[in-house]
Amino acid sequence: MSEVNPTESSLAIFSRAAVMLAEADTIQKAHELRDLALTAADWAKRKGMGEQAIQYARSYALEAERKMGQMLAETKRADGGDAQRTRLLGVTESPPTLTALGLTKRDSSEAQRLAALPDEIFEAVKTGKKKRTQAYREQNRRDSKPVPPCKANLGITLIHGDMLLEVPNLGKFDLIIADPPYGVTDWAWDKIPDYRQQVKKWLLTIQSALAEHYHLFWFCSPKWSADTEMVFRELSIPIKSRIVWHRRNMPMGSDAQDKFIDSWEMIFHSGNKPLNWPERWDSSRFDVQTFPVPQTNFTDQKLHPTQKPLELVKWLVTYGSSPGQTVLDPFAGAGTTGQACGDSRPCMLIEKEIEYIDVIKTRLGL
């Protein structure tokens, strides 16, 4: 990767970056340029070269990242072996994985989100007039397909806060659907240093909020399923079902060289009353269910990095509770549980990240 030469003037560095940006014709070159520009920004800051020099370097980094995102998006549209894909990846052999290109899934996702911004919004981000998150929210509002408006008597309560502090004050619930962070993304809120101890804190809090007769559904990555089950056992929370959610669509970059690609997630089910089955017997009673991951081009739009399918959550709500019974989602994310409850069940949503509070309000018309 190119490096910043300490003897170069700031003008020379930025001029070289501009030339490289114009000539970058592969994802790897654009990635290298982004890193060069970020290094230049850091160097300019340490040398006290002034805010303008730092902003120039950061703007080049954003330009390079955007170009990288545009090329990543093109490779998704191109067939695996065509010339366009080969050119963009800068290789002649089999197309490499994101890891081989030095990218994480988050790098790829963020670059493509940046590339999807209209020019005027991108310029505002580049000049520092808007933060990325603000620009993404604005674009989401522009691109979002109309969501059926919620009825006035929906009975949804939305709380911005930490579930460990909020849940003890909310009473008892007939159904709790919990989709906590479990370390499958690079987002800061998804990093759990001591996963097992954190799950114990969450489950103890949820256990205190369960009604006398209840159902609980707890989402979990295959990586942590054994640890999670041990916490359930430690707290004497009975596991009645181990539900497998099979994802039938996979995002770009979900590749691995030394293991099989996981295509499922676990949902632990605990409860002490009959499930709300319909009279008609069908496959909805099985413990393996297939639903696609939400995508930006779906009716079930992707609004959160770890968002669960609306139809999957509706399935849990329908069979785990009866109309009129109370529902809690202590890790609300994009508010999917609120939409799944519709106007038939009072629903309490708790979300810690302010960015997704805004998403929930927009989605549910709150």
The total number of structural domains that make up the chain: 2
Tell me, what amino acid is at 122? F
> How far is Cα 226 from Cα 288, in angstroms, rounded to an integer?
18
237 shares a domain with 328: yes
Residue pair 17/40 in contact (Cβ under 8 Å)? The answer is yes
Does some domain include residue 270?
A: yes
Say yes or no: 125 and 34 in one domain: yes
In a domain, 148, yes or no: no
The residues with which 351 forms a beta bridge, in sequence order, are: 160
Q: Tell whether 133 and 167 lie within a shared domain.
A: no
182 & 48 share domain: no
Q: Let me know if residue 2 belongs to a domain.
A: no
Query: What is the reported pLDDT for 68?
Result: 79
Give the β-pairing of 327-329 and 288-290.
Answer: unpaired
Q: In the prediction, which pLDDT does 50 show?
A: 72
Q: Do residues 87 and 173 both lie within one domain?
A: no
From first to last of the 366 residues of the chain, give the pLDDT tens digit: 445 555 555 556 556 666 666 666 788 777 777 777 777 777 777 777 777 777 777 777 788 788 777 877 776 544 444 445 455 455 444 455 666 667 777 777 777 877 788 877 778 777 777 777 666 666 665 555 444 444 434 689 999 999 999 999 999 999 999 999 988 877 888 888 899 999 999 999 999 999 999 999 999 999 999 999 999 999 999 999 999 999 877 644 455 677 888 889 999 999 999 999 988 888 999 999 999 988 877 888 888 989 999 999 999 999 999 999 999 999 999 999 999 998 889 999 999 999 899 899 989 988
Same domain for 63 and 198?
no
Instruction: Provide the H-helix boundaries in the chain.
Output: 10-23, 27-46, 51-77, 83-89, 105-116, 119-126, 132-143, 163-166, 195-207, 225-234, 310-320, 336-341, 354-364
222 and 116 in one domain?
A: no
Specify if 1 maps to a domain: no
Q: How far is CA 303 from CA 238, 250, 265, 358, in A?
A: 33, 16, 19, 11
Query: Domain boundary at 111, 143, 175, which?
Result: 143
- Parent domain of 136: 10-143
308 shares a domain with 203: yes
**Structural domain includes residue 35:** yes
CATH number of 302's domain: 3.40.50.150
Give the model's pLDDT for residue 149.
44
Q: What is the pLDDT of residue 146?
A: 47
CB 62 within 8 A of CB 135: no
Residues 225 and 356 occupy one common structural domain? yes
Judge whether 324 lies within some domain.
yes
Side-chain-side CA neighbours of 337 within 13 Å: the count stands at 30
220 DSSP assignment: E
* pLDDT score of 78: 44
Tell me the one-letter amino acid at 51. Answer: E
Question: Which is nearest to 291 in space by CA: 347, 340, 238, 258?
Answer: 340
Q: 28, 90 in Cβ contact below 8 A?
A: yes
The whole-angstrom separation of Cα 52 and Cα 187 is: 29
**Does one domain contain both 301 and 259?**
yes
Question: What is residue 211's DSSP assignment?
Answer: E
> CA nearest 345: which of 218, 243, 215?
215
Which CA distances in Å does 18 have to 36, 111, 122, 259, 349? Answer: 11, 19, 18, 40, 47
Given 115, 143, 171, which residue is the final one in a domain? 143
In this prediction, residue 92 carries a pLDDT of 46
Domain-located, residue 3: no
Per-residue model confidence (pLDDT) at position 5: 54
Q: Are residues 167 and 272 in the same domain?
A: yes
Domain boundary among 94, 111, 143: 143
Residues 112 and 165 in one domain: no
Written as one string, the DSSP assignment of 234-270 is HTT----EEEEEE-----TT---SSSPPP-EEEEEEE
Burial 211-247, CB ≥16 within 10 A → b, else e: beebbbbbbbbeebeeebbebbeeeebeeeeebbbeb
Q: Is residue 302 part of a domain?
A: yes
